[in-house]
Structure 1
Amino acid sequence: MQDKKSTTLLQRHPLALAAMLAAAPAAFLAGCGSNGDKPAIPEGSTMEVAVLATTDLHQNVLSYNYYALAADTSLGLERTAALIKSARAESPNNVLLDDGDATQGTLLGDYQAQAQTIACASTLAIYKAMNSLGYDAAGLGNHEFNYGLPFLSQTLNADLGVAGVSKPAPDCGAPKFPVVISNVYSASSKAPLLKPYTLINKTFAAKGPNGEALSVPLNIGVMSVVPPQIMDWDAKNLADKVYVNGVVETATQFVPEMRSKGADLVVALSHGGLDASAYSPKMENGSYHLSKVPGIDALVAGHSHLIFPAAREAGAPALDGSLKGLPGVDADKGFVNGVPTVMPQSWGRRLGIIKLSLVYQGGKWVVNKDKTQVEARGFKYSDGKTIVDAEPSVAPLIDAEHQAAVAYAKQPLGTTTDFQMSAYFSLVGDVSAIQIVNQAQIAYVKNFLATTTDATLKSYQNIPVISCSAPFKAGRNGPTDFTDVAPGASAAAPVALQVRNPGDLYLYGNNNIQAVKIKGKDLRAWLEAAAKQFGQIDPSKTAEQDLVPSYATIFNFDVFYAEDNALTYQIDVSKPAGSRVVNVLYKGQPLADDADFIVATNDYRAGGGGSVPGIDGSKTIIKSPDANQTVVAEYLKRQPKLQRASNGAARAWSFVKLNTAGPVILRSTAGKLAIAQSLGLPQVAAELGIDAAGYGRYSIDLSK
């Protein structure tokens, strides 16, 4: 029944009440309905909220390289912490989020997950640091699944609802912030593996329409998605246990749901890069299309280890070529299809900052895009030269874990080498860090075929086994990110290898070895796919040209090897991608299209990773439970002495000679010209100084 006094007021003062409603509808509505517990917010109020974000930390807590056993001031969450501190001082209204791939990627991560599995009551080193920094929420990345669902369940102290995965003990160490994943579901329960989103409730300072100070509540919804390819990359851990939905379909479901439950803002954590090709629910880098889903106010992207928007600091590295010219993308201001978007590189080297300018209109907070600012802030943000100091409170938190990982890394492997195995010049033909991996993979697959009881596999025993591997650490993550095992080794002074070295030679401890059976025409297409790594060089151009414009996909640059160097091929970089590979010979004869080969590779590539034509899982004949990194380590243990002549000098590929009117350059670590000369690489003519990103620039003479 209508209140009598209210009726009287409406009857006596209808114009006055109408005027009140017109002047302050938000204040009136804030006291009504489901939002009745919220204080009145005057129409036209404004507020700035900073979304601070990290991504792809990969257990880089400290500024330290466990493979080189040396400090590395270019990375580490302990330095990102300094950026977080300064950003919070600039923007007191803030939330701190992580976009996944936090727990795997360094020897510290492998030590805690595999060598000396962390006890239930303990908390992962990376989570200790993140807890201390006060993260508000995080999503998962693809690498969070590398160590298996039981490990994930324990370290998150979460019941995943997956058949066969036990509930963790109630006292397991875990993050002190919610970890969400929106597009991964339990195959048995059909429920999300974790909570699909979280609502972060904060009280922030705002300004009323007349400049008056306000204190208002804000509910921030956070969702998270990973690439559907985790089902291929981690099939051994996930098959028949979970399933994955497309990122757009997922957001279309959960964004409205978050709004209905009171989210004033929605932030999407997308562990994927920006790919503007036609959308598919199976696409790996779906952030571009995710940005088109209505209701997303801010987007944090990752996985690609790139910088977006373009870095602002003086002398900053240039925007990666893959992010240039995408429709609807403003790489200077940091907007993707109108949504403020940030991708803060990897390994803690940058902090994503989205300063959302909000205005209260029509009873809700709306993003003022003209005043919103986006930045991927690096360690040298203040002047382009000075690296921020590490936050001193972080390192002591994980000192015991750090020291244990270092001791583990130093354990002897039982092998010596008389040559340095590096990737500084792998993009111009050096195989010193690749051949030993290929030899290990060939030996494993040949032994598998020789000892199998499977009749079909037995019938393949006379088919040639070749192998491919990529120089995983060849500049993708900056000028210090290059494999370098046993520097200074020589026949006169061989160097003893350690436990840390196989991880330097083969970075991805989660990859399992697999083998595919292909034809010669498939092999040729595979070689062409790898050759896409190079830019197309115009011989008549007088301006400088970059031989390798982007290192973002260096893990797709497969280098092939056959015993006795039976396979050789050339790459003509003057040709467009797809028609570069020429003079492919096997045992001195032109490669026949119908020739049979078995290729030793990894589960990522065999299952379709890298989009090699025809390599999509359908040609896989061996799915091994053994990790490639372990295969390399075990092979090294069986080789008491490595020698360059037999383990590091068989170059299968070379460039077609090319005279260029202008300079061609290659980026690598500075100061390594002597290594190129010792390797007999005349193409590396001279060192030309250091570029803005810290890479050494080398002159490449393609006529030699």
Structure 2
Amino acid sequence: MSLSDLHPISRRSLLGGFAATTALIVLHPFAARANGNQAHLRLMETTDIHVNVMPYDYYADKPNDTMGLARTASIIDSIRAEAGNSMLIDNGDLLQGNPMGDYMAYEKGMKAGDLHPVVKAMNTLGYDCGTLGNHEFNYGLDFMFNTLGGANFPIVCANLTKGMLADDPRKDELHFKPYTILDRKIRDGAGNENPIRIGFIGFVPPQIMVWDAKNLEGRAQTRDIVEAARAWVPVMKEEGADLIVALSHSGIDGHGQSERMENASLYLAGVEGIDAVFTGHQHLVFPGPKTWDDVPGADPVKGTLLGKPAVMGGFWGSHLGLIDLLLEKDGASWKIVDFTCEARPIYHRDDNRKIVADVSDKPEIVAAVTAEHEATLQYVRTPVGKTSAPLYSYFALVADDPSVQIVSNAQTWYIREMLKDSEYKDYPVLSAAAPFKAGGRGGSDYYTDVAAGDIAIKNVADLYLYPNTVQAVLVTGEQVKNWLEMSAGMFNQVTPGAKDAPLLNAHFPSYNFDVIDGVTYQIDLAQPPKYDGDGKVINPDANRIVNLQFGGQPIDPGRKFVVATNNYRAGGGGKFPEIAADKVIFVAPDTNRDVIVRYIVDQGEINPSADDNWSFAPNQGATAIFETGPKGRQYAKDVRGAKIEDAGDGEEGFARFRLIL
């Protein structure tokens, strides 16, 4: 029987015959039925924690029941108790993602021997292995090494090299061990302990060389994920690994394998010798409905990639990924004869769509990070200025938006000052900024919402989630138009006369919806998108961007413009046409967040009102539907440049609005 022929048992059917109570731990069927030559092994995954140790949203400055390793940790003990044998791993993106991460990096700093709060929490929980995520590199290599050096478990990564790549990946000089083989004792169905060798191999997206070039250039390089796996997995087999588990901080993309793929986990599963795959990076749940239905080779019900067990355990501690294996002794080694896969949540929504916590905090984790939590609260509550009007992002995808406007204002202010004595001082300065908190996978509360009055550091971090640095590129008017054409991939095509067509492209991330300030334009949704998500032309005759003007006149395609942006976009992040490192004319030493803080301090009081420099072109008789956070209803009447009306409640706690085109 091949692995793809196996039929996993869902947890729902598992619990169906039991009266589950808090006092009763129900053994997994594999643990209950294992014979003397069989054993049950449960592999547990956390992924994309992003420093969310506490169930607390530092941006909103309030508790949040959907997040926190302290919550996930509280179900680990019971989940271990359901199993015959268990191991706990982490799949990366630990060190950046909320103000606690920034506090540790920018205020406290990490020296060799210091313990980072997320590492303290993981040591307390007894992790067996981990790998790197792309955000581990955001604060620099030294910070990463000092932080991860405190882990009481091995960190593995097979495709991060120290320098020039050799022809053979096995000759690479690596920053971390490519894999580890852990010798464990496993208890079989008869209660006897047997030796087993379990190998873990880790991978990070090769794109870190673009996203964090300032931290990695000259110090690191990356290999293709599948290429590295094909080189190292046979070595692990030669060294006697009974099982090989891939820790892939890389998502699931079924559009065909390509070199140096960002989301390569599907094809990684196809590497001979790999027995199971833990994935991450995309902040999604696998197995699970809808998202994966059209991915060839992925079974979102069984939880398989190319027939092999696979899990993606959400993000911020929202789920614990579980792969349960029924192992059978095959001579001196072990083989998988059955499996189940699950991503178990820490919360659910009741019939009124209200979030209900399924678990409480694990006291040992809270105690481990209390000091850093309190210091972070003090850090984020520090006022830096005032705003004369609210800052919110509920309608950032349908109209010019105050939360994006303030970022652009700050970037323009900064770049003009930086270039005032340079050869570029006479070039017009534009600014590109995108909404980071715009619902989507983050949920119906995932929006910026800052009241008028004092602005604190927590509000600036809320406006700009990532510790990107400011950069400026020199581009032509034609390239500005194509930049905006790529951004307009945010929207589905809406044909004239269409009624309540879905507006937003669910596969297009909001952080790639750049609004360019300093020009005016409209987006014609009757046109199809010109580019796909990889920046490839799919409709060469399409022109969604219409009435593009600079200074009240049609933009000159050949005129040069300085555009203020961030290192991610300037380095090619998002695959925008012709926007890459060769266009960069200025690399700032400052993060975009720091620039926003300095701008607010300089102004004293800011006016974040959007200047309505973009809108949708009229579309005869058409309407479209989009979702936003229900708290946005209080601001709906203030939206300018777009005609919208309330269309009731959506799914998963969202509010629906109708855009009248």
Q: TM class, shorter-chain normalised?
A: 0.7 to 0.9
Give the drift of 1:437.
0.8
Aligned to 1:598: 562
Q: Judge conservation of contact 2:615–2:642 (CA < 8 Å) in 1.
A: no
With normalisation by structure 2, the TM-score equals 0.87
Amino acid at match of 1:127: V
Aligned to 1:305: 283
What RMSD in Å do the two structures reach over aligned CA positions? 2.4
Amino acid at match of 2:40: E
Instruction: Map Cα deviations across residues 236-270 of structure 1 (whole Å, 9 max, x no partner).
Output: 21111111111111111111111111211111111
CA distance in 2, matches of 1:375, 1:619: 45
Aligned to 1:3: none
Task: Tell me: CA distance 1:378–1:224, structure 2 relative to 1, closer, same or farther (3 Å).
Answer: same
Q: Judge conservation of contact 1:472–1:506 (CA < 8 Å) in 2.
A: yes
Aligned to 2:483: 526
Aligned to 2:14: none
1:468-483 matches, cutoff 5 A = 468-475=432-439, 476-483=441-448
Instruction: Map Cα deviations across residues 136-159 of structure 1 (whole Å, 9 max, x no partner).
Output: 1110111111111221222222xx
Instruction: Map Cα deviations across residues 197-221 of structure 1 (whole Å, 9 max, x no partner).
Output: 11222222333xxxx4543222211
Aligned to 2:414: 444
Partner SS for 1:327: coil
Aligned to 1:423: 393
Instruction: Map Cα deviations across residues 158-195 of structure 1 (whole Å, 9 max, x no partner).
Output: xxxxxxxxxxxxxxxx1111111111122299521012
Alignment match of 1:569 (pick from 513, 521, 542): 521
Amino acid at match of 1:116: K
CA distance in 1, matches of 2:620, 2:186: 63
Give the drift of 1:294.
0.9
The answer to whether structure 1 residue 224 and structure 2 residue 202 are counterparts is yes
Amino acid at match of 1:439: N
Q: Which residues of structure 1 form unaligned runs of 5+?
A: 1-41, 158-173, 311-317, 453-457, 490-494
Aligned to 2:469: 512
The answer to whether structure 1 residue 502 and structure 2 residue 460 are counterparts is yes
Partner SS for 1:451: coil
Aligned to 1:206: 188
CA distance in 2, matches of 1:231, 1:116: 27
Aligned to 1:328: 297
Aligned to 2:175: 193
CA distance in 2, matches of 1:84, 1:546: 40
Identity %: 38
Alignment match of 2:312 (pick from 309, 332, 343): 343
Partner SS for 1:220: strand
Instruction: Map Cα deviations across residues 34-89 of structure 1 (whole Å, 9 max, x no partner).
Output: xxxxxxxx999333322211111000001111122111111111111133233222
CA distance in 2, matches of 1:430, 1:479: 20
Partner SS for 2:546: strand
Give the drift of 1:383.
8.1
Amino acid at match of 1:247: I
Partner SS for 2:277: strand
Give the drift of 1:333.
1.9
Partner SS for 2:581: coil
Aligned to 2:347: 380
CA distance in 2, matches of 1:293, 1:179: 21
Alignment match of 2:96 (pick from 104, 107, 110): 104
Task: Tell me: CA distance 1:435–1:682, structure 2 relative to 1, closer, same or farther (3 Å).
Answer: closer
Give the drift of 1:375.
1.6
Alignment match of 2:380 (pick from 409, 430, 438): 409
Alignment match of 1:461 (pick from 419, 425, 437): 425
Instruction: Map Cα deviations across residues 95-129 of structure 1 (whole Å, 9 max, x no partner).
Output: 11111011111110110111121454431111111
Indicate the structure (1 or 2) with the bigger Cα radius of gyration. 1
Amino acid at match of 2:243: L
CA distance in 2, matches of 1:608, 1:405: 33
Aligned to 2:268: 290
Amino acid at match of 1:412: P
Aligned to 2:20: none
The answer to whether structure 1 residue 676 and structure 2 residue 647 are counterparts is no
Aligned to 1:30: none
Give the drift of 1:659.
5.4
Task: Give the aligned length.
Answer: 605
Give the drift of 1:426.
0.5
Instruction: Map Cα deviations across residues 568-589 of structure 1 (whole Å, 9 max, x no partner).
Output: 1222334322133222222222
Give the drift of 1:405.
0.7
Instruction: Map Cα deviations across residues 494-534 of structure 1 (whole Å, 9 max, x no partner).
Output: x111122221111111x111111111221111111111122
Give the drift of 1:225.
0.9
CA distance in 1, matches of 2:590, 2:631: 37
The answer to whether structure 1 residue 535 and structure 2 residue 492 are counterparts is yes
Give the drift of 1:545.
4.1
Partner SS for 2:357: coil
Partner SS for 1:236: helix
Give the drift of 1:469.
0.8
Q: Judge conservation of contact 2:400–2:613 (CA < 8 Å) in 1.
A: no
Instruction: Map Cα deviations across residues 7-38 of structure 1 (whole Å, 9 max, x no partner).
Output: xxxxxxxxxxxxxxxxxxxxxxxxxxxxxxxx
The answer to whether structure 1 residue 587 and structure 2 residue 551 are counterparts is yes
CA distance in 2, matches of 1:657, 1:89: 60
Aligned to 1:655: 616
Of the structure 1 ranges 84-93 and 258-267, higher mean CA displacement relative to structure 2 is found in: 84-93
Partner SS for 1:398: helix
